[in-house]
Structure 1
């Protein structure tokens, strides 16, 4: 993820070779029906929350959030205009307004300035971007959060077993070894700490057909 606003497709890894396959592949290969509810439970949307989903994709997690807490203010950020159009259609029937913004993870602080964001989440985005962008994205998310706010990430994490390492190779073939290997080595918690987050925890690990997906939680405590 690099740059601000509408960008050419070559500046980011598309969600899937054909957009219509994205949700199907995610459901089949990542056990999304298990980790998405776990991520929702961890975020625990509540009245008064301002929640930003960074790299929101087709809006699946935003829809779960909207249904769980219609009074929360929801914002999705993604650089892909085709993905945002699909998300807008998916969210049209939830009854809760969801604001969708064009931008990359590194733009989060600028796009969310003044909104008093209480919770930031991201799912299946960090493994697709270079190491420098992982760091700058997390730093921008930290800056976007109000003091006391929390970060919630679901993504491919440390691949602890040979079986998970082998399965993760299909992701590496699609999204590139250089982008994905730091995730496989467990870099995300380290990066979260480096940019200022505290109480960094890996709270759940899910074995899937494409490798293991970890859920992380962290807090911004400093002004």
Structure 2
């Protein structure tokens, strides 16, 4: 049974690989939701803080293939978003004055065509994100923390080919932190610190793209 299933998967892979893969470039809207636990170390003592964040934004993104016959390509995304909701612990943060969150990713993408109208891209890579948050909801301490985080990201996108040169993309991504650094600023005081972050981010996206 296992050999039969493995053979079927190999045949599917080989069948999908014969389809042509175009390069695409477009603009997408996205929304993310994160649930994370951040561990800070102060004077040798670890402190854990749970947090959530919901973000909405826009990005330029696409996939570059070395040729129309190659099913393997390079995916990219660069964009910015605005926090619309955030909590740390049980405290709701006031996100109205938070700056934009910047993010970019590179991934290896595999393309498989199901028909002339529908295809799929699967990929995995690295996501970088720079996000600024306050230390409390009313900013009474005037403490600002900027996180710079590298994460592993996995993507699954479906393409609907409107024409030979136009496609609509819809997909989801899941990311988990690999490493993170926090810059804590209060007035003229600033300190950089490595922090341990665990958790996940789920992203949904819609893109309009043109073939290259």
What TM-score bracket applies, with the shorter chain setting the length?
under 0.3
Q: State the structure with more CA Rg.
A: 2
TM-score when scaled to structure 1? 0.24
- Higher helix fraction: Structure 1 or Structure 2? 1
